[in-house]
């Protein structure tokens, strides 16, 4: 089986200011230093990226954006381009987060455009998928995930897929304190790997990292990441404290 390095990414969302983000970044750098076999990333708001980038310099903590424009550049007020993220020191970008899908009406097709735009600039997309509670209750989880993955990654070839990271984030578990059980997470991760296999072949499917996101904490991280198809975590709330984020990194057990 392909070696998949754990990836732990913190989504700081619209929290912190320049001073508190710098403090948190220092704390993460200190706790991350001994984990050389885990990829660690933090994703601050665009305005905080320059201050955080300075602190991450020379560390083993990577930097990512929380969203990216589908456009290259120009008159798109309020948007941030992939090249701007790259030039500010980002190597990653979250794409298709459920909060973008919900509050900004991002469709699977738009998310696909953003994945491609990120890749074209050399950023690693952390491509998010996940069902809503009503979809899970209606037995439509796999149908929803299947569409999100197939449309979100359509038009990519195996070489492009080599850099894409997928995050399975059940919407009902984000910020709610209600975490998917390790069995629920594994079941969907395994399903996603099957979809990847049918789209890109067995080798790509085995090599692609699939993160779990949704109320991950130090206390539940180890069980989740102990599952064979769970390759790390996308963390919201618990990434805002260096100790809890550090505890989640520790949960990789490597």
Contact status: 95 vs ligand PEP (CB under 6 A): no
Counting Cα atoms < 13 Å in the Cβ hemisphere of 124 gives 21
Grouping H, G, I as helix, E, B as strand and the rest as coil, residue 49 is: helix
Which window, 21-29, 111-119, 154-162, 231-239, contacts ligand PEP (CB under 6 A)? 231-239
Counting Cα atoms < 13 Å in the Cβ hemisphere of 135 gives 15
- According to CB under 6 A, which residues from 111 to 170 bind ligand PEP? 169
Between 99 and 229, whose beta carbon lies closer to ligand PEP? 99
Name the catalytic one among 39, 106, 169, 186.
169
Q: Which residue is nearest to ligand PEP (CB)?
A: 236
Between 166 and 174, whose beta carbon lies closer to ligand PEP? 174
Contact status: 42 vs ligand PEP (CB under 6 A): no
- According to CB under 6 A, which residues from 234 to 253 bind ligand PEP? 234-238
The dihedral over CA atoms of 48, 51, 52, 56, expressed in degrees to the nearest 10, equals: 160
Name the catalytic one among 97, 99, 131, 135.
97
Between 205 and 211, whose beta carbon lies closer to ligand PEP? 211
Using the 8-state DSSP alphabet, how is residue 59 labeled? S
Q: Is the dihedral of CA 47, 52, 54, 60 positive or negative?
A: negative
CA distance 201 to 193: 10
Number of separate helices (H) and strands (E) present in the chain: 12, 8
Contact status: 174 vs ligand PEP (CB under 6 A): yes
Binding mask 6-35 for ligand PEP (x = CB under 6 A): -----x------------------------
**Catalytic annotation on 97?**
yes
CA distance 92 to 118: 8
How many binding residues for ligand PEP (CB under 6 A)? 13
Phi/psi for 161 (5° steps) reads -65, -20
**Least CB distance to ligand PEP at residue 219 (A):** 13
Between 156 and 234, whose beta carbon lies closer to ligand PEP? 234
Quick one: tokens of 228? 């064979």
Between 81 and 215, whose beta carbon lies closer to ligand PEP? 215
The dihedral over CA atoms of 49, 52, 57, 62, expressed in degrees to the nearest 10, equals: -70
Grouping H, G, I as helix, E, B as strand and the rest as coil, residue 163 is: coil
Grouping H, G, I as helix, E, B as strand and the rest as coil, residue 113 is: helix
- According to CB under 6 A, which residues from 195 to 224 bind ligand PEP? 213-216
**Least CB distance to ligand PEP at residue 169 (A):** 5
**Catalytic annotation on 104?**
no
CA distance 144 to 139: 10
Between 8 and 235, whose beta carbon lies closer to ligand PEP? 235
Give residues in contact with ligand PEP (CB under 6 A): 11, 169, 174-175, 213-216, 234-238
Catalytically annotated residues: 97, 169
């Amino acid at each position: 089986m392909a070696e998949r390095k754990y990836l732990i990414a913190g989504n700081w969302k619209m929290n912190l200011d320049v001073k508190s983000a710098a403090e948190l970044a220092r704390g993460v750098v200190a706790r991350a230093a001994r984990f050389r076999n885990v990829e660690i990333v933090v994703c601050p708001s665009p305005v905080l990226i320059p201050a955080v980038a300075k602190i991450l310099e020379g560390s083993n903590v990577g930097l990512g954006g929380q969203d990216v424009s589908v456009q290259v550049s120009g008159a798109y007020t309020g948007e941030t381009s992939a090249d701007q993220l790259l030039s500010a020191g980002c190597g990653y970008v979250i794409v298709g987060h459920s909060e973008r899908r919900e509050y900004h009406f991002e469709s699977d097709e738009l998310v696909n455009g953003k994945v491609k735009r990120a890749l074209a600039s050399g950023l690693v997309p952390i491509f998010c998928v996940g069902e809503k509670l009503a979809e899970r209750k209606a037995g439509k989880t796999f149908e929803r995930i299947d569409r999100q993955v197939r449309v979100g990654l359509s038009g990519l070839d195996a070489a492009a897929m080599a850099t894409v990271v997928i995050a399975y984030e059940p919407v009902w578990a984000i910020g709610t304190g209600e975490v998917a059980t390790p069995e629920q997470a594994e079941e969907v991760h395994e399903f996603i790997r099957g979809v990847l296999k049918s789209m890109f072949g067995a080798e790509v499917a085995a090599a692609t990292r699939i993160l779990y996101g949704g109320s991950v904490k130090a206390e539940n991280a180890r069980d989740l990441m102990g599952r064979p198809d769970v390759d790390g975590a996308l963390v919201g709330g618990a990434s805002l404290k260096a100790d809890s984020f550090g505890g989640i990194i520790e949960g990789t057990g490597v």
